[in-house]
Amino acid sequence: MNDFFLFYLRLNTTEIYDFQAKNWTMGPSMLTNRYDLSIGSIDGLLYTIGGHDGRVILNTVERFDPTTSAWAYV
């Protein structure tokens, strides 16, 4: 996977940058609005960890699978 994901503000939206095509596209929405989150990638899956939703600190983890273009809680 040679794409770059961008997360910003307190949203559940994502944007994906395609390095080969040199353009951005809207990605699938995360399940939870969040900001100040941690992001990691393991075995081709993208994980969003914790963050804040504007009211409380989050202790949830979401996983994005690029083969299905779907987010799921872990």
How do residues 29-56 score in pLDDT, each as one tens digit? Answer: 999 999 889 999 999 999 999 999 888 9
Amino acid identity of residue 63, one-letter, is R
* Nearest one of 20, 14, 16, 23 to 62, comparing CA atoms: 14
- pLDDT bucket at 72, cuts 50 / 70 / 90: very high
Parent domain of 21:
3-73
Answer whether 0.85 is exceeded by the pTM.
no
* pLDDT of the residue at 54: 84
The pair of structure tokens assigned to 51 is 């963050």
Q: What percent of the chain has pLDDT over 90?
A: 68
Count the domains in the chain: 1
Confidence category of residue 11, pLDDT binned at 50, 70, 90: confident
